[in-house]
Chain A
Amino acid sequence: MNKAPMLLQARGIKKDFFGNVVLKDINFTLEKGQIMGLVGENGAGKSTLMKILFGMKDITETGGYQGDIILDGEKVHFETPFDALAAGIGMVHQEFSLLPDFSSTENIQLNRESVNYNVTSEIFGERLNTLNKKEMRKKAVEAINKLGVDLSPEMVVSEMPVGHKQFTEISRELSREKMKLLILDEPTAVLTEKEAETLLKTMRKLADSGISIIFITHRLGEIMEVCDKILVMRDGCIISELEKDKTNVREITKAMVGREVKGISENKRENSDAPEIMNISHLWVNMPGEIVRDVNLSVKKGEILGIGGLAGQGKLGIPNGIMGLYQAGGKVIFDGKEIQLNDAKLCLKEGLAFVSEDRRGVGLLLDESLEWNVSFTAMQAQDKYLKKYFNGLIKWRDQKAIEEVTQKYIDELQIKCTSSKQKAKELSGGNQQKICLAKAFALEPRLLMVSEPTRGIDVGAKALVLEALKKYNQEAGTTIIMVSSELEELRTTCDRIAIITDGKVAGILPAHTSSEEFGYLMVGAKDMVKEGEK
């Protein structure tokens, strides 16, 4: 272990967001010129850890963290990303932070441009120095060469292929003088296979030149190819620290997902004779960040079908596309009838309902009362809670019916609020989620799609929400499609689980299958799934 000098050491890092513990006692070390792979499911705490390392304001604003970070033998504590940058840490985020109309040189040198001194700056300040384009170009070329890729310094970002954008970002970090540690957050997710290969090669080169790299990815193949050691995180802990030479994909996968959860219900109905209620074929959905490429699925009547997979693989796109929120194509047959895609109204009329993962953006009228939130969709799509006058010419809001239905769900789902007149934005996340469910229940759908029903809500509320779904499924006989990033949640709630990888169905397994098997499907190691399970 002590071959090379130590660059970074984390000791007992802990972090909670208002009592919600996300990191418990993180310890690891990183040597100079080492590449460390960091893997874990969504929500394992990877990104929080990186945010702490990079001094992001979501950490400082929520009360900082506990524990020590030691960089180059000195204890450091970054208040802002600028502190981290100054100390020699660079981070390339999943989303590009590039200016589209600037050339790669201008982006690489952004706010660190070389300037020529002139007189006016004496009076009016340094910002009136003129840019030294030659010097800028030189420095940019230097950085690009350091990375060892073929990238034109003059090319404008908006005209670049995705790979070049990624290279521009990395070059920008490299052009900083004292760059010691580079954090790459899923850098290969947007790249083509060939581009990814080049990137992995250059990572190796950089590491050989003495720069340490923390590499976050879901692609275990890449981890095995390039990393020196691998850190597996789960539930805010480091589950294992593995040496690349002594491990394999199977072991990593197991570490990632392999927690045995109690209560994987025995009463799973493996009712394969149930008739099909929905058939999805060749569905594509243009949802940015969650693109669905070619999904084929068959949903059985009365079941709870889980859809899982890692973030960005397209699982969220499926319900959003069917419900017409994002541009979609393909064929969806519901109860023997083809559903017109891209039209929310028709879907609702057919008896579909959807609880969006974007609670505040799509799911709620934050500025309106709970009554409105619960009743609105059913009122508009199904003419419920209306009094009709003059042969239906005038459809008047039936305040009494609205109050009744809202009160009913407030009681049933134990929604904590002052009254049904309270505004939705004043509720806590968990209660807001219950309002979203109530809205969907009010539609009395034949098929209910829920997307990330427990995202961002506390443990107690989580259980209640899941319980409510199960109960609704049993009592009303409603078929439910539940999309979630949390595999364990799917395993405790669903009958079957489909895993989406790269916009396609990687496989469908019964919920009681071991987490490992699901893990293989998620990381694209399909061939490891035991045969016969499918």
Chain B
Amino acid sequence: MNKTEGKSLKEFINDFIDSFGWPRLIIALFLIMLFIIAPLGGISITQSISDVLQRFGMNSIMVLAMVPMIHSGCGLNFGLPVGIIAGLLGGTISMQLGFTGGLSFVMAVLIATFFGIIFGWAYGVLLNKVKGGEMMIATYVGYAIVSFMCMMWLLLPYNNPQMVWGYKGTGLRTTISTEGYYLHILSDFLQIKIGNLVIPTGSLLFFAFFAFLMWAFLHTKKGTAMTAVGSNPIFARASGINVNSIRTLSVIMSTVLGAIGILAYQQAFGFIQLYMGPFYMALPAVSAILIGGASVNKATISNVIIGTLLYQGIVTMTPSVMNSLVHTDMSEVIRIIVSNGMILYALTRKTEGAK
């Protein structure tokens, strides 16, 4: 106790900044500033908060998908599209099989998990062969599978009229509405409305469920091993851990979460985006977790929550505030600079301890 009292205010602030990290602090201050000036432009705060919560529900599971691979030392999962593809397969197959309503979502999750496990396993085996070069290869594996599936969306024998091109009768559409299937299935569940403020309880609970599972997993024997593999793989090996199989497990988990994450995204968004849609989806998730304070080899659930809130906060707030104040939409540019700047910052930071 004496120690903390002895600290001057300045030291205290320095410590706080050190632990919180400069970039995160700047982004948080920027976001607060946006919220402060928003009313000047006639933007309703409650509306903005609803938007942020909505987007949080949509994106948070995909950000959560970063955690296992960071823990096992595979780095940032730029190959998130692998999981997204599994999710797209789950969603489209569930619709094709004629499930509707809530059941269609459950089936979509099950099928997506199935594909997620298979894809994740293959992807994990590949990443084990290229230790040290995971991130670059993950990026291109993601791109390759997305472009490969572009062909498949054309060729696979889907025939549900809501999904295929009307004039041809074959080949999936670029965007498919989830209406009548799992549209808003989570976000409308137990939804709370207080005036303007809408809280998508179902989406948040859905995320909370997976976040809890992840937290619990990291407290088990296997989860402990995963963290150790990421922290020091040689130590783990000397402790009798099969490093490769733990890494593969982490990749499978990331992939399955990516698959379920995209389904949560679609139910709120209302559409399934196929073809080149998943192409750049990894980058927002990667930068969100980094904004949340994660590094290339350390990440926690709170990094996920804070990061997604900050990232989505900026994405929702900047366009409206900018538009109302200066009548220009610089938000996209700001988003590009902030998110990629954040990734660059993480990549160039000396990784803590052993690689």
Residues of A within 8 A of B (CB): 323-325, 343-349, 354, 356, 360-368, 372, 376-377, 379-381, 383, 386, 394-397, 425
Contact = CB atoms under 8 A, between A and B. Distances in A.
B221 A395 contact: yes
Nearest to B354: A366
Nearest to A325: B238
Contacts of B228: 365, 368, 372, 376, 380
8 contacts: A325-B238, A344-B240, A348-B239, A360-B354, A361-B354, A362-B235, A380-B239, A395-B220
Contacts of A395: 220-222
A184 B222 CA distance: 50
A348 B352 contact: no
B300 to A, nearest CB: 13
Given A367-B298, A367-B353, A381 B238 contact: no
A366 B241 CA distance: 17
The 3 closest A-B pairs by CB, nearest first: A345-B240, A377-B239, A395-B221
Nearest to B217: A394
Nearest to A388: B221
Contacts of A349: 240
A363 B240 contact: no
Nearest to A394: B220
Nearest to A389: B220
Contacts of B237: 324-325, 344
A356 B237 CA distance: 12
Contact of A365 (B232, B240, B242, B298): B232
A425 B353 contact: yes
Tell me which of A362, A365, A425 has the highest count of chain B C-beta atoms within 10 A of its own C-beta.
Answer: A365
Interface string B315-355: 00000000000000000000000000000000000001110
Contacts of B221: 379-380, 383, 386, 395-397
Interface in B19-42: none
Contacts of A362: 234-235, 238
Given A362-B234, A366-B354, A380-B241, 5 more contacts: A363-B238, A366-B232, A367-B232, A380-B228, A397-B220
Contacts of A345: 240-242
A362 B354 CA distance: 10
A380 B225 contact: yes
Contacts of B250: none
Interface range for B = 20 to 34
A363 B236 CA distance: 9
B328 to A, nearest CB: 43
Interface string B207-239: 000000000000111101101100110110111
B353 A344 contact: no
Contact of A354 (B220, B238, B352): B238
A381 B239 CA distance: 7
B240 A396 contact: no
A450 to B, nearest CB: 13
Nearest to B241: A380
Contacts of B232: 361, 364-367
Contact of A379 (B224, B238, B242): B224
A396 B239 contact: no
A397 B221 CA distance: 6
Given A361-B354, A366-B353, A396 B235 contact: no
Given A395-B221, A396-B219, A425-B353, A356 B227 contact: no
Nearest to B242: A345
A397 B232 CA distance: 19
A356 B238 contact: yes
Contacts of B220: 394-397
A487 to B, nearest CB: 27
A348 B353 contact: no
B235 A348 contact: no
Tell me which of B227, B228, B235, B354 has the highest count of chain A C-beta atoms within 10 A of its own C-beta.
Answer: B235
A259 B231 CA distance: 43
A435 B272 CA distance: 53
A293 B237 CA distance: 24
Contacts of B219: 396-397
A365 B238 contact: no
Given A344-B240, A381-B240, A396-B220, A365 B231 contact: yes
A348 B235 CA distance: 13
A323 B237 CA distance: 10
Nearest to A364: B235
Contacts of A347: 240
Nearest to B237: A344
B235 A365 contact: yes
B239 A344 contact: yes
A366 B354 CA distance: 7
Contacts of B234: 325, 361-362
Contacts of A360: 354
A474 B222 CA distance: 35
A381 B298 CA distance: 24
B238 A367 contact: no
B15 to A, nearest CB: 15
Contact of B238 (A323, A383, A425): A323
Tell me which of B219, B240, B241 has the highest count of chain A C-beta atoms within 10 A of its own C-beta.
Answer: B240
A367 B231 contact: yes
Nearest to A361: B234
Contacts of B225: 380
B235 A344 contact: no
A395 B235 CA distance: 21
A393 to B, nearest CB: 10
Nearest to B219: A397
Tell me which of B220, B222, B238 has the highest count of chain A C-beta atoms within 10 A of its own C-beta.
Answer: B238
A380 to B, nearest CB: 5
Nearest to B218: A397
B279 to A, nearest CB: 34
Contacts of B240: 343-349, 377, 380-381
A394 B223 CA distance: 11
B236 to A, nearest CB: 8
B289 to A, nearest CB: 18
B271 to A, nearest CB: 38
A480 B228 CA distance: 27
Tell me which of A361, A366, A376 has the highest count of chain B C-beta atoms within 10 A of its own C-beta.
Answer: A376
A339 to B, nearest CB: 13
A199 B298 CA distance: 51
A80 B195 CA distance: 72
A101 to B, nearest CB: 20
Given A364-B232, A366-B354, A368-B231, A344 B298 contact: no
Nearest to A349: B240
A367 B235 CA distance: 12
Nearest to A424: B353
B352 A367 contact: yes
Contacts of B235: 362-365, 376
Contacts of A397: 219-221, 224
A57 B124 CA distance: 42
Given A348-B240, A366-B354, A367-B352, A376 B298 contact: no
A502 B228 CA distance: 36
A408 to B, nearest CB: 20
Nearest to B221: A395
Nearest to B222: A395
A326 B224 CA distance: 24
A86 B227 CA distance: 50
Contacts of A394: 220
A397 B239 CA distance: 17
Contacts of A364: 232, 235
Nearest to A378: B239
A277 B70 CA distance: 43
Contacts of A323: 238
